[in-house]
Amino acid sequence: MAYLIKKPARTLSEQVYAVEAAKGLGITFRRLFTNVFGKAEDKKIATIQYPDESRDYPERFRGVHRLTHRVDGSPRCVACLCCSTACPAQCIHIEPAEYGEGDPRHGYERFPRLFVIDELRCIFCGFCVEACPCDAIRMDTGTHVPASWSREHFIFDKETLMSIPGRDGTYVTDNPRHEPGDPTHPGIDRDHHH
């Protein structure tokens, strides 16, 4: 059924288009002059020149992984395989190894001989970080995986992962770590025997 749509009421100045057009020109010209010549705080430019400038990712952004260091520069990771077990994309490959005879850590903990993440397979869910019992793997780097030409470049090995700093530029985390032999170390049994 045909029905009538009421035309919106117009004032005379709206009907004479030139007046409203002049008003519109006034608005755009004002905006133009503020954005070009105005004071810095008045400017309303919303865009940035991306490759030259970039915005910081949010605080909790899950970026490329990194392996944190101990104070002596060795990886914090004890190769417990929690992360690779938790990983839904199965992109983490770890080969554990024993510290050598005579090393204070020998018999206490292992270290990863190989720690490989396939960054193309990773879905950046962050479960590995959740699973890690000793704060060894983190995604707080604040950057994404850089683009590259070859798939092989995205297989990040232990050295690569350890070479990526956190957002604050450090490799060691604030979480204290108790090395074996150090009196604060909880020991291997409930009576705190070293």
Partner 1 sequence: MEFGWFLLATVLKVSFILGVTVLLYAPVFVLFERRQSAMVQDRIGPMMGGVKMPRLVIDHLQTLQMGAFGMAALCGLLFLFATAQVWQGNGTEVLFTEPVLGVRHTWNGMMFVFGALAAVHVPLGVVLPYLFHHDRLTIFGGLHALFDAIKAFTKEDVVPPEADKFLFSLAPIIAMVPALMLGAVIPFGPTLYVDYLFEQLPAEGTIGGAAIPLQVASLNIGILYMFAVGGAGIIGAALAGYSSNNKFALIGGLRAASQMVSYEVCLGLTIVPLFMLYDSLLLDEMVQWQVDHVWGVVVQPIAFVLFLTASIAEYKRVPFDAPEGESEIVAGFFLEYSSGKWLMYMLAEFFEVATSSMLIAVLFFGGWDVPFLGRGGWEAFGYAFDLSGTHWAILSEVANSHVFIVAVQIGAFVLKALLLGMLSIQIRWTLPRFRYDQIMQLCWRMILPLALVNILVTGIFILLTGI
Binding residues for partner 1, per CB under 8 A?
Answer: 18, 21, 24-25, 27-29, 31-32, 35-36, 44-49, 51-52
DSSP string, 124-193: ---HHHHH-TTS-EE-TTSS-PPP-S-GGGGEE-HHHHHT---TTS-SB-SS----TTSTTS--SSTT--
Q: In this complex, which beta carbon is closest to partner 1, that of residue 48 or of residue 123?
A: 48
* Least distance CB 27 / partner 1 (angstroms): 8
- Mark 137-154 as b/e (b = at least 16 C-beta within 10 Å): bbbbbbeebeeeeeeeeb
Q: In this complex, which beta carbon is closest to partner 1, that of residue 51 or of residue 169?
A: 51
Q: In this complex, which beta carbon is closest to partner 1, that of residue 52 or of residue 189?
A: 52
* Least distance CB 3 / partner 1 (angstroms): 22
* Least distance CB 7 / partner 1 (angstroms): 14
Q: In this complex, which beta carbon is closest to partner 1, that of residue 29 or of residue 157?
A: 29
